[in-house]
Amino acid sequence: MISVIDYGAGNIQSVIKAFHHIGCEVQVTADREVIKASDAAILPGVGAFGDSMNCLKNAGLVQPVLDFIESGKPFLGICLGLQLLFEGSEESPGVRGLGVLEGKILRIPADRGLKVPHIGWNSLELRSQSGLFAGLEEDPYVYFVHSYYLHADDPSVVSSTTEYGVRIDASIQRGNLFATQFHPEKSGRIGLKMLQNFVARIDAD
Protein backbone atom coordinates (compact mmCIF):
# COMPACT_ATOMS: atom_id res chain seq x y z
CA MET A 1 0.00 0.00 0.00
CA ILE A 2 1.10 3.56 -0.74
CA SER A 3 0.69 6.10 2.05
CA VAL A 4 0.07 9.79 1.45
CA ILE A 5 1.47 11.44 4.57
CA ASP A 6 -1.12 13.78 6.08
CA TYR A 7 0.57 16.44 8.20
CA GLY A 8 -1.90 19.26 7.59
CA ALA A 9 -0.02 20.98 4.75
CA GLY A 10 -0.60 18.90 1.66
CA ASN A 11 -2.41 19.01 -1.68
CA ILE A 12 -3.82 15.63 -0.80
CA GLN A 13 -7.04 15.40 -2.80
CA SER A 14 -5.43 16.01 -6.19
CA VAL A 15 -2.77 13.41 -5.37
CA ILE A 16 -5.40 10.85 -4.39
CA LYS A 17 -7.42 11.49 -7.57
CA ALA A 18 -4.35 11.10 -9.76
CA PHE A 19 -3.43 7.74 -8.25
CA HIS A 20 -7.02 6.53 -8.53
CA HIS A 21 -6.94 7.56 -12.19
CA ILE A 22 -4.03 5.20 -12.82
CA GLY A 23 -5.81 2.43 -10.93
CA CYS A 24 -3.75 2.59 -7.76
CA GLU A 25 -5.18 2.74 -4.24
CA VAL A 26 -3.56 5.01 -1.67
CA GLN A 27 -4.20 5.61 2.00
CA VAL A 28 -4.03 9.00 3.71
CA THR A 29 -2.45 8.70 7.13
CA ALA A 30 -0.59 10.43 9.91
CA ASP A 31 -0.05 7.17 11.80
CA ARG A 32 3.64 6.39 12.26
CA GLU A 33 3.17 2.63 12.29
CA VAL A 34 1.01 2.69 9.17
CA ILE A 35 3.63 4.77 7.37
CA LYS A 36 6.38 2.41 8.49
CA ALA A 37 4.50 -0.62 7.13
CA SER A 38 3.74 1.01 3.76
CA ASP A 39 5.28 -0.14 0.50
CA ALA A 40 5.84 3.46 -0.60
CA ALA A 41 5.17 6.93 0.77
CA ILE A 42 4.37 10.37 -0.63
CA LEU A 43 5.05 13.71 1.06
CA PRO A 44 2.93 16.41 -0.61
CA GLY A 45 3.02 20.04 0.43
CA VAL A 46 1.69 23.52 -0.20
CA GLY A 47 2.22 26.69 1.81
CA ALA A 48 5.16 28.07 3.73
CA PHE A 49 8.33 26.12 4.52
CA GLY A 50 8.41 27.03 8.22
CA ASP A 51 4.73 26.34 8.83
CA SER A 52 5.02 22.96 7.13
CA MET A 53 8.05 21.94 9.18
CA ASN A 54 6.15 22.91 12.32
CA CYS A 55 3.22 20.78 11.17
CA LEU A 56 5.54 17.80 10.63
CA LYS A 57 7.07 18.28 14.07
CA ASN A 58 3.73 18.75 15.83
CA ALA A 59 2.41 15.59 14.18
CA GLY A 60 5.48 13.66 15.36
CA LEU A 61 6.33 12.73 11.79
CA VAL A 62 9.85 14.05 11.30
CA GLN A 63 11.61 10.87 12.43
CA PRO A 64 9.11 8.51 10.75
CA VAL A 65 9.70 10.31 7.43
CA LEU A 66 13.47 10.10 7.88
CA ASP A 67 13.24 6.43 8.84
CA PHE A 68 11.10 5.64 5.81
CA ILE A 69 13.56 7.27 3.44
CA GLU A 70 16.38 5.36 5.10
CA SER A 71 14.43 2.08 4.70
CA GLY A 72 15.07 2.04 0.96
CA LYS A 73 11.41 1.90 0.01
CA PRO A 74 10.16 4.32 -2.68
CA PHE A 75 9.50 7.84 -1.40
CA LEU A 76 8.13 10.78 -3.41
CA GLY A 77 8.13 14.43 -2.32
CA ILE A 78 5.93 16.84 -4.28
CA CYS A 79 6.40 20.63 -4.49
CA LEU A 80 7.04 21.78 -0.90
CA GLY A 81 7.65 18.11 -0.19
CA LEU A 82 10.83 18.48 -2.26
CA GLN A 83 11.95 21.63 -0.47
CA LEU A 84 11.47 20.12 2.99
CA LEU A 85 14.03 17.42 2.17
CA PHE A 86 16.76 20.07 2.23
CA GLU A 87 18.39 22.02 5.04
CA GLY A 88 16.43 25.24 5.01
CA SER A 89 14.76 27.93 2.92
CA GLU A 90 15.03 31.67 2.41
CA GLU A 91 11.28 31.67 3.00
CA SER A 92 11.73 30.78 6.68
CA PRO A 93 15.17 31.85 7.96
CA GLY A 94 16.34 29.86 10.96
CA VAL A 95 13.94 26.96 10.39
CA ARG A 96 15.75 23.70 9.75
CA GLY A 97 14.39 21.33 7.14
CA LEU A 98 14.70 17.55 7.15
CA GLY A 99 18.29 17.80 5.94
CA VAL A 100 18.19 14.60 3.89
CA LEU A 101 20.00 16.37 1.05
CA GLU A 102 22.21 19.45 0.88
CA GLY A 103 21.22 22.53 -1.07
CA LYS A 104 19.59 25.93 -0.90
CA ILE A 105 15.93 26.84 -1.30
CA LEU A 106 15.98 30.33 -2.80
CA ARG A 107 13.34 32.89 -3.76
CA ILE A 108 12.71 33.28 -7.49
CA PRO A 109 14.01 36.76 -8.40
CA ALA A 110 11.19 39.23 -8.97
CA ASP A 111 13.30 41.72 -10.92
CA ARG A 112 13.53 39.86 -14.25
CA GLY A 113 10.17 40.69 -15.76
CA LEU A 114 8.55 37.45 -14.63
CA LYS A 115 5.61 37.00 -12.29
CA VAL A 116 6.25 35.48 -8.88
CA PRO A 117 4.85 33.08 -7.84
CA HIS A 118 5.64 31.05 -10.93
CA ILE A 119 2.32 29.47 -11.93
CA GLY A 120 2.04 27.53 -15.15
CA TRP A 121 3.59 25.05 -17.54
CA ASN A 122 7.31 24.73 -18.21
CA SER A 123 9.36 22.20 -20.09
CA LEU A 124 11.90 20.05 -18.28
CA GLU A 125 15.44 19.37 -19.36
CA LEU A 126 15.86 15.74 -18.33
CA ARG A 127 19.23 14.55 -17.07
CA SER A 128 18.22 10.98 -17.84
CA GLN A 129 15.14 9.14 -19.01
CA SER A 130 14.97 6.75 -16.09
CA GLY A 131 13.23 6.68 -12.73
CA LEU A 132 10.14 8.90 -12.87
CA PHE A 133 11.00 9.84 -16.45
CA ALA A 134 11.23 6.35 -17.97
CA GLY A 135 9.43 6.24 -21.30
CA LEU A 136 8.88 10.00 -21.55
CA GLU A 137 9.70 12.11 -24.57
CA GLU A 138 12.36 14.78 -24.29
CA ASP A 139 11.44 18.20 -22.85
CA PRO A 140 8.11 17.21 -21.29
CA TYR A 141 5.81 20.00 -20.08
CA VAL A 142 4.73 19.96 -16.42
CA TYR A 143 2.79 22.24 -14.08
CA PHE A 144 4.47 24.46 -11.47
CA VAL A 145 3.13 26.60 -8.60
CA HIS A 146 5.95 28.06 -6.50
CA SER A 147 7.84 31.15 -5.38
CA TYR A 148 10.97 29.34 -4.16
CA TYR A 149 13.25 26.94 -5.95
CA LEU A 150 16.01 24.43 -5.30
CA HIS A 151 19.68 24.89 -6.03
CA ALA A 152 21.17 21.52 -5.04
CA ASP A 153 24.75 21.30 -3.77
CA ASP A 154 25.24 17.91 -5.43
CA PRO A 155 24.43 18.02 -9.16
CA SER A 156 24.36 14.22 -9.31
CA VAL A 157 21.01 14.09 -7.45
CA VAL A 158 19.31 16.48 -9.90
CA SER A 159 17.19 14.55 -12.40
CA SER A 160 15.72 17.52 -14.28
CA THR A 161 15.97 21.30 -14.53
CA THR A 162 13.87 24.13 -15.94
CA GLU A 163 14.27 27.85 -16.60
CA TYR A 164 12.21 30.65 -15.07
CA GLY A 165 14.44 33.69 -14.83
CA VAL A 166 16.99 31.37 -13.22
CA ARG A 167 17.93 27.75 -13.68
CA ILE A 168 15.78 25.68 -11.34
CA ASP A 169 16.58 22.18 -10.13
CA ALA A 170 13.10 20.84 -10.85
CA SER A 171 13.45 17.28 -9.54
CA ILE A 172 15.83 15.04 -7.67
CA GLN A 173 16.53 11.33 -7.49
CA ARG A 174 18.83 9.44 -5.14
CA GLY A 175 18.22 5.72 -4.96
CA ASN A 176 14.69 5.20 -3.66
CA LEU A 177 14.20 8.93 -3.03
CA PHE A 178 12.34 11.00 -5.64
CA ALA A 179 11.01 14.54 -5.43
CA THR A 180 9.60 17.12 -7.83
CA GLN A 181 9.15 20.89 -7.54
CA PHE A 182 6.36 20.60 -10.10
CA HIS A 183 3.05 18.82 -9.58
CA PRO A 184 2.91 15.51 -11.46
CA GLU A 185 -0.66 15.02 -10.25
CA LYS A 186 -1.65 18.21 -12.12
CA SER A 187 0.53 17.63 -15.20
CA GLY A 188 -1.88 15.64 -17.36
CA ARG A 189 -0.79 12.56 -19.25
CA ILE A 190 2.92 13.24 -18.63
CA GLY A 191 2.43 13.53 -14.88
CA LEU A 192 0.32 10.38 -14.70
CA LYS A 193 3.08 8.48 -16.49
CA MET A 194 5.53 9.69 -13.83
CA LEU A 195 3.24 8.43 -11.08
CA GLN A 196 2.95 5.08 -12.87
CA ASN A 197 6.75 4.93 -12.99
CA PHE A 198 6.86 5.62 -9.27
CA VAL A 199 4.40 2.80 -8.55
CA ALA A 200 6.49 0.49 -10.69
CA ARG A 201 9.41 1.07 -8.32
CA ILE A 202 7.54 -0.79 -5.58
CA ASP A 203 7.75 -4.08 -7.46
CA ALA A 204 11.23 -3.31 -8.77
CA ASP A 205 12.62 -2.72 -5.29
Catalytic residues: 79, 183, 185
Sign, Cα dihedral of 147, 151, 155, 157: negative
- Reading phi first (left if > 0) and then psi (alpha if -120 to 50, else beta), residue 131 is in left
Q: Rounded CA gap, 71 and 4, in Å? A: 17
49: which residues sit within 8 A by CB, 6+ positions away?
Answer: 80, 83, 84, 88, 89, 91, 92, 95, 97, 105, 148
113: which residues sit within 8 A by CB, 6+ positions away?
Answer: 165
Instruction: Please return the burial class of 166, using the count of CB atoms within 10 Å of its CB with bins 0-12, 13-18 and 19+.
Output: middle
Task: Identify which of 196, 166, 160 has the alpha carbon closest to the alpha carbon of residue 181.
Answer: 160
Q: Rounded CA gap, 3 and 190, in Å? A: 22
